[in-house]
């Protein structure tokens, strides 16, 4: 169906996709900005084309430039990675209109799930439990919002229907704060996401963030590949992820996984996807679906023993899923640390030249990164430098291996959050497992 893939991304994920394509014998086309000439996937690709200046809006987000590069290079498919254009339904449509395969769900699935209100409604219809709250956007009328919030019970959270990346959310503690919060969130949503629709749901005080990985083919087959816990967050951004989510009742997780599979089949979903839930007092509440490969996919690969990116490419080629639900295993435990180039106290990005780089190794250790000694990290993109992923026979084994790996890892010349990770790995709460989404911020405040 296609034998060459254009990788419409950069950094570690572009290299990850490059490797999966190569393992399947597919030709690759790298597109890069002027700031990214030296990335490893650019050197490894069969064809590499510069598509614009460093600014992402003029390169990785420039749909016309990417489509032109695909035509010029004879690519048959486009892999969007994560971020950038990966959840842009209009881009997926343009790719298909150009006669290329978009390696992801159908554009209408991206559109449905990209609208958090529509996604919640679809999930509720499919029998997936959601965070308490209405299934409709607020009109902007204060009286209506007050009635809705009172019915849910304070505290509530106002969320932008088109929000993402941890932005466009505001917690409202009491009725007196609602008017301002509604005005500010609506305005912010309009400016940041071009969609001013806002909805209200219950603000859960101490939930965990638990997600379910799914993959579906174009023939109506879908499986779920286990759970992940991504509760360690700073400003709604994930810092550490693990699989499986520790300490949850297995039959409950099974039932939720099965409901996710049924939801996929109901909407004709195709490709990889993640259903995100908040779990409080043992109950699951759906918050949103990500219709793409996620940063934290490797922890699932390690426990399921699968190459998710290869599977993603194969279902995009029209193949049937090679596994049924009864073939899916969860072996041992995996943990991922997002190593960011950032100042340890201000958290400001810390780009620049990596003067020294020493990566850990040994059984069960995996590093997904585009960085190495001599690499100059540009200031134009996100600060993710490397993902350190470990696997062990048990959670305790994985924790022990990860501690050793973090102590071995050295990055010189730029600031990183390695010290924060070392601290997390020695924190009693995290080591016990099952902490809530505020745990990391509490830990940092305690210093």
* Residue closer to ligand ADP (CB basis): 206 or 410: 206
Min separation Cβ 164 and ligand ADP, Å: 4
User: Can you read off the two tokens belonging to residue 13?
Assistant: 């994920």
Picking from 186, 187, 184, 209, the residue whose alpha carbon sits closest to that of residue 199 is 186
Name which of 163 and 364 has its Cβ closer to ligand ADP: 163
Cβ-based nearer residue to ligand ADP, 219 or 236: 236
Place of tokens 């769900």: 105
Q: How far is the CB of 204 from ligand ADP (least distance, A)?
A: 4
Q: How far is C-alpha 93 from the geometric centre of its chain's CA atoms?
A: 22
Query: Where on the chain is the footprint of ligand ADP (CB under 6 A)?
Result: 131, 157, 163-167, 169, 201-204, 207, 209, 233, 236, 276, 278, 287-288, 437
Distance CA 201, CA 204 (A): 9
CA-to-CA dists, residue 14 to 280, 357, 371, 445, angstroms: 36, 20, 12, 35
Kindly state the smallest distance separating residue 211's Cβ from ligand ADP, in Å. Answer: 9
Q: Are 71 and 94 in contact (CB under 8 A)?
A: no
Terminal CA-CA length for the chain: 55
Smallest distance, Å, CB 229 to ligand ADP?
11
State the catalytic residue, choosing from 106, 197, 270, 292: 292
Min CB(218)–ligand ADP separation in Å? 26
Token pair listed for 196 = 């001013």
Q: Is 168 left (phi over 0), alpha (psi -120 to 50) or beta?
A: left
d(CA 250, CA 161): 32
To the query of whether residue 395 is one of the catalytic residues in this protein, the response is no
Closest by CA position to 394, among listed 305, 306, 334: 334
DSSP structure class, residue 37: T
Minimum CB distance to ligand ADP smaller for 276 or for 301: 276
Q: Strand pairing partners for 160? A: 198
Q: At closest approach, how far in Å is the CB of 299 from ligand ADP?
A: 16
CA distances from 302 to 8, 241, 390, 396 (A): 25, 12, 8, 16
- Kindly state the smallest distance separating residue 233's Cβ from ligand ADP, in Å: 6
Total Cβ atoms within 10 A of residue 53: 14
In which element (H, E) is residue 238 found? strand 237-243
- Contact call for residues 148 and 138 (beta carbons, < 8 A): yes
> Residue 176 contacts by C-beta under 8 Å, 6 or more apart in sequence?
none
C-beta of 287 vs 389, nearer to ligand ADP: 287
Compute the C-alpha angle 148/154/155, nearest 5°. 120
Q: Minimal distance in Å, beta carbon 361 to ligand ADP?
A: 32
Phi, psi of 83 (to 5 degrees): 70, -155
Toward ligand ADP, which CB reaches closer, 285 or 387?
285
- Residue that is written with structure tokens 């394509």 in the block: 21
- Is 201 in a helix, a strand, or coil? strand
CB 104, min distance to ligand ADP, A: 17
**Shorter beta-carbon distance to ligand ADP: residue 233 or 340:** 233
CA distances from 6 to 67, 81, 153 (A): 9, 11, 49
**Residue 74 or residue 166: which is nearer to ligand ADP going by CB?**
166
Nearer to ligand ADP, 115 or 276 (CB): 276
Catalytically active residues are 292
């Amino acid at each position: 169906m296609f034998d060459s893939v254009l990788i419409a991304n950069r950094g570690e994920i572009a290299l990850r996709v490059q490797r999966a394509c190569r393992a399947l014998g597919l030709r690759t086309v790298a597109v890069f900005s002027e700031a990214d000439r030296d990335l490893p996937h650019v050197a490894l690709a069969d064809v590499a084309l510069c598509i614009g200046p460093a600014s992402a809006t003029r390169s990785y987000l420039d749909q016309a430039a990417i489509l032109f590069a695909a035509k010029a290079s004879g690519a048959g498919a486009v892999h969007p990675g994560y971020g950038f254009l990966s959840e842009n339904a209009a881009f997926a449509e343009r790719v298909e209109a150009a006669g290329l395969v978009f390696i992801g769900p159908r554009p209408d699935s991206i559109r449905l799930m990209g609208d958090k209100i529509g996604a919640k409604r679809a999930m509720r219809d499919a029998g997936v439990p959601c965070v308490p709250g209405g299934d409709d956007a607020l009109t902007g009328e204060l009286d209506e919002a007050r009635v809705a919030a009172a019915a849910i019970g304070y505290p509530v959270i106002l969320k932008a229907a088109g929000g993402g990346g941890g932005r466009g959310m505001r917690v409202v503690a009491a009725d007196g704060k609602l008017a301002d919060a509604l005005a500010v969130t609506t305005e912010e949503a309009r400016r940041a996401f071009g969609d001013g629709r806002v909805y209200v749901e219950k603000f859960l005080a101490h939930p965990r963030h638990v997600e379910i990985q799914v993959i579906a083919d174009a023939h109506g087959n879908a499986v779920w590949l286990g759970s992940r816990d991504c509760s360690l967050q700073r400003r709604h951004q994930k810092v550490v992820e693990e699989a499986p989510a520790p300490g949850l009742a297995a039959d409950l997780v099974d039932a939720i996984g099965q409901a996710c599979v049924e939801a996929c089949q109901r909407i004709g979903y195709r490709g990889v996807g993640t259903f995100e839930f908040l779990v409080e007092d043992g109950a699951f509440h759906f918050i949103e679906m990500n219709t793409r490969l996620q940063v934290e996919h490797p922890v699932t690969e390690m426990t399921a023993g699968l190459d998710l990116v290869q599977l993603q490419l194969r279902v995009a080629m029209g193949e049937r899923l090679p596994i049924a639900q009864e073939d899916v295993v969860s072996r041992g435990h995996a943990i991922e640390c997002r190593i960011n180039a950032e100042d340890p106290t201000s958290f400001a990005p810390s780009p620049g030249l990596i003067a020294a780089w020493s990566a850990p190794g040994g059984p069960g250790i995996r590093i997904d990164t585009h960085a190495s000694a001599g690499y100059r990290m540009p200031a134009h993109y996100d600060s993710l430098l490397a993902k350190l992923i470990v696997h062990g026979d048990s959670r305790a084994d994985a924790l022990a291996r990860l501690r050793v790996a973090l102590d071995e890892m050295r990055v010189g010349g730029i600031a990183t959050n390695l010290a924060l990770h070392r601290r997390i790995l020695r924190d009693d709460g995290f080591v016990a497992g099952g902490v809530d989404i505020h745990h990391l911020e509490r830990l940092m405040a305690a210093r």
